[in-house]
Amino acid sequence: MALLTPLNPPIAAFAGLRVWLVGASTGIGAALAERLIAAGARVAVSARSADTLQATYAGRATILPLDMTDAAALQAAAGRLQAEWGGYDLVLAIAGTYAQMRADRYDESAALRIVELNLSGVFKLWGAVQAQLLAQGAGGFGIVSSVAGYGGLPNSMAYGATKAACNNLAQSMYLDLKRRGIAVYLIAPGFVATPLTAGNPFPMPFLISAEQAAQEIMDGLARGDFEIHFPRRFSRLLKFLNLLPHRLYFWLVGKGTGM
């Protein structure tokens, strides 16, 4: 039955798969790169820190240092991979940033930096790879979003807004690209122990390691999921809350976060 089939083609084997990870120096990106390399994938890694990439991946992956907000650098890196690999099977936009922010403690420059990387950077990466993927008529593009994009949360004014936009973007891209043979993945983690979350001054429910997050992503790709969200107990709770009337949603979220 069509309604029960995977939304994307399941990835039966990762060996030989050409994968470009943008945002692979630490956290989820680094853990995912390690799993893909171990599975035999042909991996390219990008991040701003050339030294970290070199120290971590020298001799094991193609190293393409860049800033995901730099459209020209992305175009150059994409061109190099096209020349060396002949295309790519999976491109993942992983790079992102986070800062606590409330509407009554607003920092405009910080908010715009978050928007530039978390949202504009995704558009720029797609702009760099879309011609090749469309010409191939195959391959996939994935966006690492967050469960924070499911509904408004305290202290998440800029970050949550960018992730909500990424959720919408991935859905739109799926509808546009499925008929062109291109898979689209929306990856929505909950709390993951990374350098970005290390400074959170509050308890993080259902916290998992970057290695656990990477395995969740690998499993979701293998199943052909469109939306890869985890840990399920937390992500399903937030999905449910967002179905409630606003009055009840605000009360429950406020009560649960002490706001």
For the segment 46-105, what is each residue's pLDDT rounded down to a tens digit? 999 999 999 999 999 999 999 999 999 999 999 999 999 999 999 999 999 988 888 899
Phi (first) and psi of residue 247, to 5 degrees: -60, -45
The reply to whether the predicted model has a pTM over 0.85 is: yes
Residue 31 lies in domain: 2-257
User: By the 8 A CB rule, do 15 and 228 touch?
Assistant: no
Residue 150 is a catalytic residue? no
What pLDDT score was predicted for residue 2? 65
* Cα dist from 56 to 21, 31, 81, whole Å: 14, 11, 20
For residue 166, the domain's CATH number is 3.40.50.720
Identity (one letter) of the amino acid at 2? A
Q: Which of 17, 197, 169 is nearest to 97 (CA)?
A: 197
Average pLDDT, the chain: 94
Count of structural domains within the chain:
1
What pLDDT score was predicted for residue 38? 98
How many distinct helices (H) and strands (E) make up the chain?
A: 9, 9
Alpha carbon distance 11, 131 (integer Å): 22
User: By the 8 A CB rule, do 37 and 204 touch?
Assistant: no
Look at 21 and 199; give whichever has higher pLDDT.
Answer: 21
Q: Is the pLDDT of residue 207 over 80?
A: yes
Task: Given the residues 57, 98, 159, 174, select the one marked as catalytic.
Answer: 159
Q: Is the pLDDT of residue 1 over 50?
A: no
Q: What is the arithmetic mean of pLDDT over 177-188?
A: 97
